[in-house]
Amino acid sequence: MRGTRPAAFGIPLLLLAVTALSSATPSRAEERKAPDDLPLGVSKVLWELSVPPGAEPTADKVALGEKLFKDKRLSINDTVACATCHDPDRGFVDHKSLSEGVGGKAKPTQRNSPTVLNAMFNATQFWDGRAPSLEEQAKLPILNPIEMGQKSPDDVVAKVRAIPEYAQSFQRLFGRDLTYDDLVAAIAAFERTQYAGDAPFDHYLHGDSKAIDASAQRGWVLFNGKGRCNECHAFNTVTPLFSDQKFHNIGIAAHKTDFIGLARRATEIVRSGDMKQIDELAIQSDLSELGRFLVTKQANDIGAFKTPNLRDIAVTGPYMHDGSMQTLWDVMDHYNKGGVPNPNLDGGMQRLGLTEPEIDDMVAFLATLTSARFAAFGKKEMARQRGLKNVRPERDTAVAMGLKGNLGDLAPDPTLRNPATIGVLLIPQNFLPPRGAKDGQRTEKR
Ligand code: HEC
Ligand code: HEC
C-alpha cells in the first residue's frame, strides 16, 4: 500500500475529470466553477473535480438541506436528526466514543461519527468507504434501525411530504413531488458548503510565519519526517486533506478482536453488493471491526479503515473508527509504539522513537488545523485534552524507543542477535490460524 500515493490520487481524479467533461455542456462547465470565496486551504481544483455536474449547491437547496439536516422529524420517532450525531456547532460530531441514535444508550452504533466538514472531498464515504457519494451515504442512516429507524424510503417520503413547508419547497426547487433522491440531494447540497479551512496552518503556509508557534512548526517537520504521518495522511495544495483516501489496518480493532474468526463468519454472512446489509453489519454487529473487508471481502482489507482527514481534528474527538482514543496524546502514543501487532497491520506502521517533547510538538501542530470558525472551541478542547495528558493508556515507551520488541524499523532492539527476526511481528497466539497453516507460526529466535 505504500509508495503508490501519487498514482492512486491521479487515477480517480483523472476519471472524475473525464466524466465531468464528457457529461457537461459548455454552459454547465461554466456554472461548475468553484466559488470565488473558498476559504484558504480549500482547493479550487479539488472542488471542481469533487462536485458532480448538476449537484452544485445553490443557495435555495443549501437552505433546504440545512433545515433537513437539523430536523428530527426525519427519524421514526422525531428524536434524532443528522445533527444529533453531527452537531454543526461542535465540529459536526457528537463527541461520544460511539454514536447513539433511536437505539439510545442501550444500543449504540459500533462506530464513532466522523465529521461532515470536508466530507464533500472524500473519495468514498464511511470509515469503510461503502458509500460512493454524499447522496448514497445520506440514504443509509435514515433507514438504519438504530440510527434514525425509518422502515423504508416510501415511509420517509410520505412523512416529509405531509409537512407542508417541505412539500412546497421541493415543488419549487425540484419541480416535482418530493422523492427520496431529491431529499438526499438537498442534504448533500448543504454538506457541500461545509468546508474545513482557514486554519492557522493555512495562513502559515501562505506566508504568515507567525500564524503558528515554534512548537507547531517543529511538529509539521516531524509529521513529514520522523513521525512518518504523511505516508498516509498525505497533504499537497491540490488535495490539502491530510488523507490518501485509502484503507489501512493500523491495529485499532486488534485491541479486542479475533479477526480470523470474524472474517470467517463474515464471509459466510455477507451477500455481495447489498449495501443495506453491509450498513447494518457495520453499524450494529461485532463484524464492524472487519472494516473495509465487509465491502471488498479481500483478506488484506481485514481491520482496514479509511485514512481520516485531519483537518479540525482538535474539535472532533474522541478518535478512531471506534472512538477508543480520548486525546491526541493517546493517538501519538499508539503510533509511537508502531500500532498494535496483528497479521494485517499495515507495513507503513513502524515504531517511531518520538520523545515526549516531540509528541507535544506534533499535537501542537495538529491543533493548528482548526478552522477559524471553531477557533474558540478548539482552544477549549485542547485545554481539556491537556488536562488528561497524564493519563496515557496507549503509552509504551520501551517499545516506542526500541528497548523492547523488534518490529524491524528505525529503532531496532539493541539486544537483537538474529537479523532474520527483524520485521517478524510478535503476533499473539489467538491471531494465528488455528490448524494446518504452518507458515503463520513462525516463532522468534534470538
Ligand atoms: C446515530 C448517529 C448518526 C446519525 C443520526 C447520522 N449519522 Fe452520519 N455517521 C454516523 C456514524 C457512526 C458514521 C460512521 C459510520 C461508518 O463509518 O460505518 C457516520 C458517517 C457519516 C458520513 C461519512 C463521513 C466520512 O468521513 O466518511 C457522513 C457524510 C454522514 N455520516 C452524514 C450524515 C447525514 C447527512 C445524516 C442524516 C441523514 C447522518 N449522517 C445521520 C453517525 C450518525
Ligand atoms: C499506515 C497509514 C497511517 C499512518 C502512517 C498514520 N496514520 Fe493516522 N490514521 C490512519 C488510519 C487508517 C486511521 C483510522 C484508523 C481506524 O480508525 O481504525 C488513522 C487515524 C488517525 C487519527 C484519528 C482521526 C479521527 O478522526 O479519529 C489521527 C489524529 C491520526 N491518524 C494522526 C496520525 C499521525 C499524527 C500520524 C503520524 C504519527 C499518523 N496518523 C500516521 C492511517 C495512518
Q: Do both 332 and 224 map to the same domain?
A: yes
d(CA 43, ligand 2 centre) in Å: 22
Active-site residue among 147, 191, 231, 289?
147
Residue to mutate (ligand 1; options 67, 120, 122, 126; most atoms within 8 A of CB): 126
Give yes or no for a contact between 227 and 218, defined as CB atoms under 8 angstroms apart: no
Query: Which of 191, 218, 242 is a domain's end point?
Result: 191
Tell which residue, 69, 3, 9, 51, has the closest CA to residue 241: 9
CB atoms within 10 A of CB 435: 6
3-state helix, strand, coil in the chain (%, to 5): 45, 5, 50
Tell which residue, 260, 220, 437, has the closest CA to residue 342: 260
Place of cell 449537484: 55
| Measured distance between the N- and C-terminal CA atoms of the chain, rounded to whole angstroms | 30
What's residue 445's pLDDT?
37
Q: Do both 125 and 179 map to the same domain?
A: yes
Given a cut of 80, is residue 446 above it in pLDDT? no
Q: Quick one: which atom of ligand 1 is closest to the CA of 188?
A: 35
What's residue 408's pLDDT?
47
Angle at 68 between CA 322 and CA 288, to 5 degrees: 20
What's residue 422's pLDDT?
55
d(CA 199, ligand 2 centre) in Å: 20
The CB of 305 under 6 Å from ligand 2? The reply is: yes
Place of cell 428524536: 79
Q: For 24-45, what is each residue's pLDDT tens digit?
A: 444 555 557 899 999 999 999 9
The CB of 248 under 6 Å from ligand 2? The reply is: yes
Residue 269 has phi, psi (to 5 degrees) of -85, -40
Angle at 328 between CA 326 and CA 330, to 5 degrees: 65
The residue segments making up the domain with residue 328 are 196-257+307-446
Q: Do both 124 and 75 map to the same domain?
A: yes
Q: Do both 120 and 155 map to the same domain?
A: yes
d(CA 306, ligand 2 centre) in Å: 9
The CB of 235 under 6 Å from ligand 2? The reply is: no
What's residue 39's pLDDT?
97
Q: Do both 168 and 205 map to the same domain?
A: no
Residue nearest to atom 40 of ligand 1 (CA): 82
pLDDT band at 20 (very low <50, low <70, confident <90, very high): very low
Residue nearest to atom 42 of ligand 2 (CA): 307
Q: Do both 211 and 353 map to the same domain?
A: yes
Residue to mutate (ligand 1; options 73, 147, 242; most atoms within 8 A of CB): 147
Q: Quick one: which atom of ligand 2 is closest to the CA of 291?
A: 18
Query: Which residue would you say has higher pLDDT here, 286 or 142?
Result: 142
Give yes or no for a contact between 406 and 422, defined as CB atoms under 8 angstroms apart: yes
Is residue 147 annotated as a catalytic residue, yes or no? yes
The CB of 228 under 6 Å from ligand 2? The reply is: yes
Which of these ranges, 3-7, 249-253, 287-291, 323-327, has the smallest mean pLDDT? 3-7
Average pLDDT over residues 152-162: 98
Given a cut of 60, is residue 145 above it in pLDDT? yes
What's residue 439's pLDDT?
42
Neighbouring C-alpha atoms within 13 Å toward the C-beta of 203: 13
d(CA 307, ligand 2 centre) in Å: 6
Q: For 399-421, what is each residue's pLDDT tens digit?
A: 898 787 655 454 455 565 666 66
Q: For 110-120, what is each residue's pLDDT tens digit?
A: 999 999 999 99
Average pLDDT, the chain: 87
d(CA 243, ligand 2 centre) in Å: 9
Q: For 351-402, what is each residue's pLDDT tens digit?
A: 899 999 999 999 999 999 999 999 999 999 999 999 999 999 999 999 898 7
Type of residue at 382: M
What's residue 272's pLDDT?
61
Give yes or no for a contact between 431 and 344, defined as CB atoms under 8 angstroms apart: no
Q: Do both 290 and 237 map to the same domain?
A: no
Q: Do both 13 and 83 map to the same domain?
A: no
User: Cα–Cα distances in Å, from 86 out to 116, 182, 394?
Assistant: 7, 21, 27
What's residue 423's pLDDT?
53
Q: Do both 156 and 35 map to the same domain?
A: no
Given a cut of 50, is residue 22 above it in pLDDT? no
Helix crossing, 153-161 with 164-174: angle to 10°?
Answer: 100
Given a cut of 50, is residue 96 above it in pLDDT? yes
Q: Do both 248 and 354 map to the same domain?
A: yes
Type of residue at 346: D
Q: Do both 151 and 244 map to the same domain?
A: no
Q: Do both 185 and 202 map to the same domain?
A: no
Residue nearest to atom 34 of ligand 2 (CA): 229
The CB of 126 under 6 Å from ligand 2? The reply is: no
Query: Which of 241, 268, 302 is a domain's end point?
Result: 302
* Structural domains counted in the chain: 4
The CB of 227 under 6 Å from ligand 1? The reply is: no
Q: Quick one: which atom of ligand 1 is closest to the CA of 306?
A: 27
Query: Which of 191, 216, 248 is a domain's end point?
Result: 191
What's residue 273's pLDDT?
63
